[in-house]
Structure 1
């Protein structure tokens, strides 16, 4: 087969465990091309062993779905003559939907990464009119259920849970002491709790500040991530006298490598699809705790590992537990969570299910 994957950009913050890359890896053995609308392809083609096409569209070309840009993609698709086209996120899907009007017989797969991707009525109308016959691969059962509630049919949508390559994660972890030094955490800190995620309101980082303000002796907490709230969160931690215990470390390329600094992982999110960062932590041997939103309960299947969202008191309670839990208690949680990861989130299963979709199957094992 000829398989073409279409993305808005190359994810240059992570290499090796990126899902854009893992989906196209699922098509190994077939002729593969990776289209990128904005930015450069870098060494992507060499790393994945496939052709790359960088269109170098402006952000305006993509936002406005300019006909000239759509025509450029159509011309490339006609040259490549794909049997399967895979899109990630909405804008590439819209481009391909218009192109597909002139490409009969091509299988189309849209990978849906977030809750509410089709919340807007005009998106649902567009999908109904121009994405008939597509298969939608939801990143979690929660995202699948969200799409079913919005009018998609069970035949259209299959849940293929996100995954990470455990070997890549473990092979690239930093030494624990080095990771702590790089993050600005005392190497000998008795307990370090960490999280990874963009500095946005939806990630719930403010509840860490609010909770730690109420604690007499909070554990060290590290937040890895860049974004709009970074400076504000750093200043708030400083104002409340938490700067030595609550560290907003900023963005890190291949952030999963720093998970070795943590004794436990916490995710106080308000909304999630199925968080890669949580899977990376568990693959690295770090027990995880999070809110029961989106696909998080599909990973954290024991209620003891979940805490109420948007609740300062709930975050305080879990931080107090993690600060005082014995190594044996944390190890028991780690073993149970790793068993779930191994059974349900292996990269081999992820690849097999996407291959099934590409080859005309239903994406189920």
Structure 2
């Protein structure tokens, strides 16, 4: 068996972290439409572990009519037995390549549905689903229902899962010492791409309403870094809101936190939120996408956020900090969102036919 997962660009993100985890199995191959193996590995050294089973096709912006044929040729060369595409671009190019290569077992995964609100994207995805007839998968019930409403096709759910052996609780003081973080502060952490959709500007604005003994740490990189940095300085929060950059050791970060915050404007079923809970850290999150599907009901809080009312997020964070729930979110993740079940579900697609 050789299962191929096709993604747009193998750069740090929720989809890519999931695919990277799946690719730890020796029979999983990854196709990245964009980039070269060299540029991808330079930008994200962690993918070096799967470099021998990674192909990058260097797609440039715009339509590439030859790409499906290149993908199909490579699929035949490695004797792929099944294909899984993730998101719209891989659906269009990978779906065509899968059918050109004569591969029957093909699944497509929707990780969020907000992009389907754009009518052109909706028509593109709906047409590709009708033409290529993949087995349709969504990462949460909310995403599945939203995708069904927008495309007219039903989706089964394979939720994102967490490796609970890799993500586990550690003594908070030890975790902070390793990271060089203060032990006399209450820490709220965020992790993700520094892009507008992730809502970290909301966290920065909310920080000015938090007490001085609360520190906010935002890990990640992206196009919003300089804008966020400037705003932090404008608000005089440089000592209380820090951005250490990207990390490939997220399992070392979560145990250092008192609380994890996900302030996103749009999401599917975010891995960072699941990972934090696997480490025993409660979560306050924006009520978007499939967040409620992945939030421990005993320890987590989902709320509607507004850019104009940052104090509401600050109030929710402070109330959660001062009255931290007695429960532990880790058993919820172990019981409902374990990576072993996610991996087995994707393996089972091998015997599913379009």
Q: Same fold (TM over 0.5)?
A: yes
Contact 1:36/1:52 (8 A) holds in 2 = no
Q: Which residue pairs with 1:281 in the alignment?
A: 276
Q: Which residue pairs with 2:62 in the alignment?
A: 64
CA shift, 1:186, in A, is: 2.2
Give the Cα–Cα distance (whole angstroms) in 2 for the partners of residues 46 and 263 of structure 1.
Answer: 33
CA shift, 1:18, in A, is: 2.2
Q: Which residue pairs with 1:22 in the alignment?
A: 21
Q: Which residue pairs with 2:165 in the alignment?
A: 167
- Post-superposition CA distance 1:176-202 (Å, at most 9, x none): 133441xxx42332x111111222222
Contact 1:9/1:39 (8 A) holds in 2 = no
Give the Cα–Cα distance (whole angstroms) in 1 for the partners of residues 19 and 53 of structure 2.
Answer: 13
Q: Secondary structure at the match of 2:165?
A: helix
- Post-superposition CA distance 1:217-236 (Å, at most 9, x none): 45111111212222222222
Distance 1:225 1:2, change over 3 A: closer
Give the Cα–Cα distance (whole angstroms) in 1 for the partners of residues 330 and 30 of structure 2.
Answer: 32
CA shift, 1:148, in A, is: 0.8
Contact 1:169/1:280 (8 A) holds in 2 = yes
Q: Which residue pairs with 2:199 in the alignment?
A: 204
- Post-superposition CA distance 1:194-252 (Å, at most 9, x none): 11122222222233333332345451111112122222222222222222112222222
Distance 1:215 1:88, change over 3 A: closer
Contact 1:32/1:51 (8 A) holds in 2 = no
Distance 1:320 1:352, change over 3 A: same
Give the Cα–Cα distance (whole angstroms) in 2 for the partners of residues 12 and 358 of structure 1.
Answer: 26
CA shift, 1:105, in A, is: 5.0
Q: Which residue pairs with 1:150 in the alignment?
A: 150
Alignment partner of 1:347 is 2:339? yes
CA shift, 1:109, in A, is: 1.0
Structure 1 unmatched ranges of 5 or more: none
Number of matched pairs: 341
Distance 1:286 1:55, change over 3 A: closer
- Post-superposition CA distance 1:233-276 (Å, at most 9, x none): 22222222222112222222333422222111111222111111
Contact 1:230/1:250 (8 A) holds in 2 = no
Give the Cα–Cα distance (whole angstroms) in 2 for the partners of residues 13 and 138 of structure 1.
Answer: 17
Q: Secondary structure at the match of 1:260?
A: helix
Contact 1:164/1:280 (8 A) holds in 2 = yes
Give the Cα–Cα distance (whole angstroms) in 2 for the partners of residues 46 and 198 of structure 1.
Answer: 20
Structure 2 unmatched ranges of 5 or more: none
Give the Cα–Cα distance (whole angstroms) in 1 for the partners of residues 52 and 230 of structure 2.
Answer: 45
Moved more, 208-217 or 341-350: 208-217
Question: Scaled by the length of structure 2, what TM-score is found?
Answer: 0.84
Give the Cα–Cα distance (whole angstroms) in 1 for the partners of residues 128 and 267 of structure 2.
Answer: 27
1:13-92 correspondence to structure 2 within 5 Å? 18-24=17-23, 31-37=27-33, 38-40=35-37, 47=49, 52-57=53-58, 59-60=59-60, 63-92=61-90
Alignment match of 1:262 (pick from 257, 264, 267): 257
Give the Cα–Cα distance (whole angstroms) in 1 for the partners of residues 48 and 304 of structure 2.
Answer: 44
Question: Scaled by the length of structure 1, what TM-score is found?
Answer: 0.82
Q: Which residue pairs with 2:176 in the alignment?
A: 177
Contact 1:233/1:248 (8 A) holds in 2 = no
1:333-344 correspondence to structure 2 within 5 Å? 333=327, 335=328, 337-344=329-336
Give the Cα–Cα distance (whole angstroms) in 2 for the partners of residues 13 and 151 of structure 1.
Answer: 25
Give the CA RMSD over aligned residues: 3.1
Alignment partner of 1:186 is 2:182? yes
Alignment match of 1:306 (pick from 291, 302, 306): 302
Give the Cα–Cα distance (whole angstroms) in 2 for the partners of residues 194 and 314 of structure 1.
Answer: 17
Q: Which residue pairs with 1:140 in the alignment?
A: 140
